Amino acid sequence: MKIQEVDARAIFAKYGLPVPSSRLVKNAEDARKAAEEIGCPVVVKAQVLVGGRGKAGGVKLAATCDEAAVKAKAILGMDIKGITVEKVLIARAVDISEEFYVGMVIDRRSRKPLMMVSPAGGIDIEEVARTSPEKILKVVIDPAFGIMQFQLRRMTSALSADKEIAKKVGGILASLYRAFMAVDASLAEINPLVVTPTGEIWAIDAKIVIDDSSLYRQKDAAGLRDESAEERGEVEAREAGLSFVKLDGSIGCIVNGAGLAMATMDMIKHFGGEPANFLDIGGSSSPDKVIAAIKIILRDRNVKTILINIFGGITRCDDVALGLIEAKKQLGLDIPLVVRLTGTNEDRAREILKGTALIPAATMEEGVKRAIKAAS
Ligand code: GDP
Ligand code: MN
């Protein structure tokens, strides 16, 4: 679960990270008041759960309180990657002389928390990883021992030659690790962590993703979900009990089982197509689920065709077939649907689909090839 910067800042502050004071507001007048309370200059920041806000114009500096109101008015209502900005954070602005990247994720290879630091902060870390990977230092932390002094020293010396700054940064990294572990984060990131001309250090951006599997015990996190600022499709999918990730291709996929969904995407790529999404409709696929899945996929204008690849074990192929026919009726579908159904009740499913406009496929490979053809 992605949480808003304002909430991530509060968590970081609780664990002792240096976070400039800020207020969340929903209109220009409150933005002015917040700026007066905090003291100018301030920075006005769109609260949306997508990356690259700054580049999209969602982060603006304001030297005066009047300017804060004007900038807030400009940002509120702005569309950032399909999400309308409803709230802005007014935060005390700091002078920047250096920008670092510091972040933590769970490293799948070592199955442990991984801390990453880079002196090239402020910009997109994926970009740094692509163009100058040597500028990123990665340190695997064993949770049985916690973060070790020698690990902190390696990281701080990679960031700054200044002993005073390195010492402060060491404390910050240790706090970041504690915050990451305490909230069961799958990602915690400060980009940038800045050094001011007078040698102060501030975390001026905050990003936390909380592991969904731990929400049952992260009681405080329950109130932090912000659906208005999330990708619509992902919200709807969660509500319908589907596991969905949007991608950039043209072939929508409806598959049961995460493994088969991955294999389907791989095969689409293998034969030269591009999947538009990952979607696992899960074990029992009632007609309702199929309809919900198609609706979510059709929200994406890039989708030219949908490939339905179902292996019927617990899932009954005839259920899926009925769902498809119902969906076609309800939604007035005009894009090609390629269907591969195999397993439990597949004969009955074939009967149901006979004479419809759905494109049948006997094997997965045939289905993938037909979908690629239909999409081009
Ligand atoms: P992001 O684009 O969503 O990552 O938003 P950030 O919070 O990282 O802000 C983007 C950029 O705005 C930063 O990299 C800074 O260059 C600038 N910025 C943000 N806050 C401040 C601030 O307090 N002072 C100054 N001088 N620049 C800031
Ligand atoms: Mn940032």
Delimit the domains of the chain by residue range: 21-92, 98-222, 231-375
Q: What is the pLDDT of residues 142-169, one digit of tens each?
A: 999 999 999 999 999 999 999 999 999 9
**What is the three-class DSSP state of 264?**
helix
Per-residue pLDDT, averaged over 125-147, amounts to 95
- Tokens describing residue 187: 């990602």
Q: What is the pLDDT of residues 37-84, one digit of tens each?
A: 999 999 999 999 887 899 899 999 999 999 999 999 999 999 988 789
- Ligand 1 pocket by C-beta < 6 Å: which residues? 43, 45, 52-54, 59, 61, 93-94, 96, 122, 191-192, 204-205
Q: Which of the listed residues 55, 71, 96, 200 should we mutate to test ligand 1's pocket, taking the one with most ligand atoms within 8 A of CB?
A: 96
Q: What is the pLDDT of residues 222-272, one digit of tens each?
A: 889 887 777 778 888 888 888 898 898 999 999 999 999 999 999 999 999
Q: Which of the listed residues 12, 98, 123, 205 should we mutate to test ligand 1's pocket, taking the one with most ligand atoms within 8 A of CB?
A: 205
Model confidence at 285, in pLDDT bands (50, 70, 90)?
low
Task: Identify whether the C-beta of residue 321 lies closer than 8 Å to the C-beta of residue 344.
Answer: no
Instruction: Tell me if residue 101 is catalytic.
Output: yes
Per-residue pLDDT, averaged over 342-367, amounts to 92
Domain spanning 98-222, CATH class = alpha beta
CA distance 34 to 24: 8
Q: What is the mean pLDDT of the chain?
A: 93
pLDDT for the residue 117 = 98
Specify the CATH architecture of the domain 21-92.
Answer: 2-Layer Sandwich (3.30)
Q: Which CATH number fits domain 231-375: 3.55.50.30, 3.40.50.261, 2.60.40.10, 2.120.10.80?
A: 3.40.50.261
Instruction: Tell me if residue 189 is catalytic.
Output: yes
Per cent of the chain over pLDDT 70 is 99
Per cent of the chain over pLDDT 90 is 74
Task: Give Dmax (Cα) for the chain.
Answer: 76
What is the value of pTM for the model shown?
A: 0.79
- Tokens describing residue 262: 């991955």
pLDDT for the residue 120 = 94
